[in-house]
Amino acid sequence: MSDTIRLRIFGCEFPIRVPKGGRERAERLAGQVDTRMREISSASGNVSARDVAILAALNLVDELECSDAPVEGPIENRIEALCAQLAQTLEGASQSE
């Protein structure tokens, strides 16, 4: 069973399906992504939301890869899928501005 919640990241709202009881974790993760994107945006100047999302994804995956936890198999596939989905969503949002 899952719930759909709305998360706000970098000024955009995203409907996200989470497992029952997963709301707090999803909100915490969204907060981390939002913080990272805002840091990159302020350091990079006039950069599109799409580019900020890609840079944030690269930074986060780099941190994960440098950690002791191996990133392979289903987790790696999920990260890649989420990065692609985020980039696509932000690209659509920036085109409508």
Among left, alpha and beta (phi > 0; psi -120 to 50; other), residue 8 is: beta
Q: What is the pLDDT of residues 62-84, one digit of tens each?
A: 888 787 655 556 777 777 777 77
Of the listed ranges 26-30, 39-43, 63-67, the one predicted with least confidence: 63-67
Mean pLDDT score, 5-22: 92
**3-state class percentages of the chain: helix first, strand second, coil last, to nearest 5:** 65, 15, 20
Report the alpha-carbon distance of residue 62 to residue 93 in Å, rounded: 26
Domain ranges (residues) in the chain: 2-95
Contact assessment for residue 55 and residue 44, using Cβ atoms and an 8 Å cutoff: yes
Give me the helices (H) in 45-70, please: 49-66
Confidence class for position 93, pLDDT limits 50, 70, 90: low
